[in-house]
Amino acid sequence: MVNSVKRSCPVKTTCPYCGVGCGVLATVTDNGSVDIKGDPDHPSNYGRLCSKGSALGETIDLTGRMLEPQIHGRSATWDSALDLVAEKFKDTIAKHGPDSVAFYISGQLLTEDYYVANKLMKGFIGSGNIDTNSRLCMASSVAGQHRAFGSDTVPGTYEDMELADLIVLVGSNLAWCHPVLYQRIEAAKAKRPEMKVVLIDPRRTMTSDIADLHLPLKADGDVALFQGLLSYLAENNALNNQYINSHTNGFKEALGAAGKLTAADISSITGLSNSELRDFYDLVAKTEKTVTVYSQGVNQSSIGTDKVGAIINCHLATGRIGQPGMGPFSVTGQPNAMGGREVGGLANMLACHMDIENVKHRNLVQEFWQSPTMAVKPGLKAVDMFNAVANGDIKAIWIMGTNPVDSLPHADYVKSALIKCPFVVVSDIMETTDTTDLAQVKLPSLGWGEKDGMVTNSERRISRQRAFLPAPGAARADWWQLAEVGRRMGYEQGMTYEDNSAIIREYAELSGFENKGSRDFDISALATISAESYAQLAPFQWPQKNGDAIAEIRFFADGNFYTPDKKAVFQAQSERPKESRSFDLPFTLNTGRIRDQWHTMTRTGKSPRLGQHLAEPFVEIHPQDAKDLGIEPATLVEVYNNFGSIIVRALITDRIQQKSVFVSMHWTDQFASSARVDTLVDAITDPYSGQPAFKASACSLRPFKANLFGFLVSQKKPKNLESEYWALARCEAGWRVELGLKETPPNLSEFAAELLGTNQFIDYLDAGTGERRFATFDNGALSAVLHLSPTPVLLSRNWIVSELGRPVANKMQRYRLIAGRPANDVPDIGAIICSCHSIGRNQIVSAMMEKGCNTVKDIGICTKAGSNCGSCKSEINQILSSRLMEAAE
């Protein structure tokens, strides 16, 4: 339940998760809950939402929220907290200089927050030490575009993905990570079946569902793959010489570098056969309308910038850029990663796409801001920033809206750096995260639904996030916190804003200041916008210059790049991937997202629906590797390397290549005993972008020998989870927990009483299996069930979860609950596939077998699965395909 509110009209706002930037209609209903729908008028999603967006209403309650400032864990007033932050930062700067302080901010911030943070650090404190967690998801795209185009410009629009005849998805699991773009491509392909999709990914992800061709590339084989493509295009008369000659430099050098690779080299580096390579190259060569979509698989690499360059080279060489249905397309991970880039939130950039290393730009920004100083060099990028915290060079850091103790590579090192840091401030919406735990000062921020401002999505579309809930407790906007600290540091003149529209007017004016077409980013049309008009602002794409009619613009069809001679620059790449490991171990650890969780689960972890899809941390292992290592399905596995180890569930699948494993990035110490995968990720970064290589760390695996397994569902959040392995997830009526213990406790009844929080329980021993089961009831309803077993607990989990809190009618039902067996007329629905309607795998299979459903549409009609947000359609299709194949065998 949210604060007491009246029923409202739908408020047009924007989803706070991925970089697709879907428009949302949020309606506060009579009972205080919030009804969420896709905004049919928003040009990025036209009414669609994915499972995460659809469940937004379940994530905005005040449980666990930070509602007042705190100093050393004690409640404080805003005045005392802000005074302390300003004083500590001032003192540190006075004693050690401006580079002894830093801000580490987030792609979750609104543009207003970003703008004020960047202005305070670069123009008033005088250091470049402000960086953002967007460094972790797309900095290599920024660097790659900057090198090639002279600017950080995404040339195209989402519509290009629908107009293309060929979409090449590189390192991008769109079905799970950008689901609405996946849905748009899927719909376009359904209308035009001749449209082709190629998926280039070491894993056969759910996105392979729409792929005509899947190329299971070796990790970091991308540069060689696209160098081979460049050579093939040249050899097969597929170049656009007019475009190359008129609008680019460096083609000969790039082609020469690519030509050093033989076909055998390319096959060996990519792990792809000659025929796979030829099929792909031929398809690209003959398809004019080609869009190459890429994301974390490209960016999160020690050669990410070179990968981006290799992709862009092929588009420049064919002139397939900036025209309908053509172009390279970087999709960003976070809702306002693009806004952060525009506003100079990265340590090496200035506001409005200006460059910190360009003295003219520095002077221009300082003159506009009338600021006392200006950073003269790039600040420390994320990984280097926390190294500087660890070695004592940075002595005061302010972290906003992000959880670096979990999300940065070498995460335990980051944690120890923050423990040692003399002054740590964290602004967040949640009281307890793995990072807020380490702060001397905690500042309560506004959450989605309470804050108000602007975000930019992956297609340069600026949309409004609008408040539809009151600010809870003492929570305040991040820009307000920054401006208040700035004023208390003595920067009254530059840090006074009557509201957020004043920030946007200033930002828009700066974007047009002495621009005259010299810079891509120009939103000067908003320079005089009133607060009322800002409140009503409809989504639009930049650039939007003062005086120009509203138009959606693609860049670079006729050249006009932002380099000194207005020509793009081909990149002559080194031919082989550089070594990206600081030690060698037999497996390559790939990390990434899953469908129904977001980042470190501080918000999506609240949703019972989202918690049911994949309820515990897991490692994907190839069947042969599992066999070789003696790892059985559903047992526990230790993934380890020189930095530490984690314990996760084995998910054995041939979707992953041999000697490669995948672990999701989401689980923190708040949701699992030992599953922070970034503790194992090596802090190796791309030399140009500073982006860490999250997808190719060395690791080993071994079975985790548990002697006791447990499964608990409980209405109360369980305490005292004292076992080597536990994983916690929300369910509709409470919590579900998986357990794994090395040693069986001597007294299981006492152990159960600790977990259940009572010794009033029913206790049952299954002599056949050795399982002990415990159940508690409250007013005749099931309040908790605990199963303990010497082998992994096998029972219908979703059925038990659904019984929690329900009245128990008779003895037989009690018996069934404790036995973990539903009655014959209550089918086991199996693992949840459709989160929106809680439809399990077994229900989908029985719709196939018993009702003859052979298409996703039929399954939707029959079971409702996939009929709401559609995020599970690829999984339904996979189930259909595998069952149909089995039937055909």
Nearer to ligand SF4, 137 or 788 (CB): 137
* Region from 11-19, 325-333, 392-400, 798-806 binding ligand SF4, contact rule CB under 6 A: 11-19
**Smallest separation, CB 253 to ligand SF4 (Å):** 39
Q: What does the DSSP assignment read for 792-821?
A: ---S-HHHHHHHTTPBP-SHHHHHHHHHT-
Handedness of CA 764, 766, 772, 774 (dihedral sign): negative
User: Quick one: tokens of 314?
Assistant: 């092929």
Given candidates 2, 18, 25, 485, which one binds ligand SF4 under the rule CB under 6 A? 18
Nearer to ligand SF4, 17 or 799 (CB): 17
Nearer to ligand SF4, 17 or 711 (CB): 17
Nearer to ligand SF4, 21 or 250 (CB): 21
**Coil, strand, or helix at residue 678?**
helix
* d(C-alpha 523, C-alpha 750), whole Å: 65
Nearer to ligand SF4, 16 or 128 (CB): 16
Nearer to ligand SF4, 56 or 839 (CB): 56
Given candidates 2, 11, 15, 489, which one binds ligand SF4 under the rule CB under 6 A? 15
Handedness of CA 358, 362, 367, 368 (dihedral sign): positive
Interface characters, 41-80, with ligand SF4 (x: CB under 6 A): ----x---xx-xx---------------------------
**Smallest separation, CB 507 to ligand SF4 (Å):** 23
- DSSP lists the bridge partners of residue 692 as 685
* Region from 12-20, 108-116, 660-668, 793-801 binding ligand SF4, contact rule CB under 6 A: 12-20
Number of residues that bind ligand SF4 (CB under 6 A): 14
* Region from 14-22, 268-276, 467-475, 518-526 binding ligand SF4, contact rule CB under 6 A: 14-22
371-384 burial string, b = 16+ CB within 10 Å, else e? beebbeebbbbbbb
Given candidates 11, 12, 13, 22, which one binds ligand SF4 under the rule CB under 6 A? 22
20 contributes a contact to ligand SF4 by CB under 6 A: yes
* d(C-alpha 449, C-alpha 34), whole Å: 10
* Region from 19-27, 373-381, 703-711, 799-807 binding ligand SF4, contact rule CB under 6 A: 19-27
How far CA 585 is from CA of 298, 592, 697, in Å, comes to: 23, 20, 9
21 contributes a contact to ligand SF4 by CB under 6 A: yes
**Coil, strand, or helix at residue 207?**
helix
User: Quick one: tokens of 807?
Assistant: 């009245």
Q: Which regions of 236-393 does DSSP assign to beta strands (E)?
A: 248-249, 290-294, 327-330, 349-350, 354-355
Q: Beta-carbon neighbour count of residue 516 at 10 Å?
A: 9
Report the site for ligand SF4 in 158-187 (rule: CB under 6 A): 178-180
Nearer to ligand SF4, 22 or 365 (CB): 22
* Region from 17-25, 472-480, 483-491, 538-546 binding ligand SF4, contact rule CB under 6 A: 17-25
304 contributes a contact to ligand SF4 by CB under 6 A: no
* d(C-alpha 394, C-alpha 99), whole Å: 7
**Smallest separation, CB 668 to ligand SF4 (Å):** 19
Residue partners of 231: CB distance under 8 A and separation at least 6 = 255, 258, 259, 261
**Smallest separation, CB 770 to ligand SF4 (Å):** 44
Residue partners of 852: CB distance under 8 A and separation at least 6 = 858
Residue partners of 862: CB distance under 8 A and separation at least 6 = 847, 851, 853
Given candidates 17, 243, 251, 555, which one binds ligand SF4 under the rule CB under 6 A? 17
Nearer to ligand SF4, 44 or 371 (CB): 44
Q: What does the DSSP assignment read for 208-261?
A: GGG-SEEE-PPTT-HHHHHHHHHHHHHHTT---HHHHHHHEE-HHHHHHHHHTS
Q: Which residue's Cβ lies closest to ligand SF4?
A: 53
DSSP strand pairing (453-456 vs 618-621): unpaired
Omega into 543 within 30° of 0, i.e. cis? yes
Nearer to ligand SF4, 45 or 305 (CB): 45
**Smallest separation, CB 185 to ligand SF4 (Å):** 12
860 contributes a contact to ligand SF4 by CB under 6 A: no
Report the site for ligand SF4 in 486-505 (rule: CB under 6 A): none
**Smallest separation, CB 332 to ligand SF4 (Å):** 10
**Smallest separation, CB 502 to ligand SF4 (Å):** 28
Please, is 720 exposed, middle or buried when counting C-beta atoms within 10 Å of its C-beta (0-12, 13-18, 19+)? exposed
327 contributes a contact to ligand SF4 by CB under 6 A: no
**Smallest separation, CB 595 to ligand SF4 (Å):** 10
Q: What does the DSSP assignment read for 440-499?
A: SEEEEBP-TTT--EEEE-TTSEEEEE---SPPPTT-B-HHHHHHHHHHHTT-TTTS--SS
Phi, psi of 713 (to 5 degrees): -120, 140
Nearer to ligand SF4, 22 or 503 (CB): 22
Nearer to ligand SF4, 58 or 384 (CB): 58
Per CB under 6 A, residues contacting ligand SF4 are 15, 17-18, 20-22, 45, 49-50, 52-53, 178-180
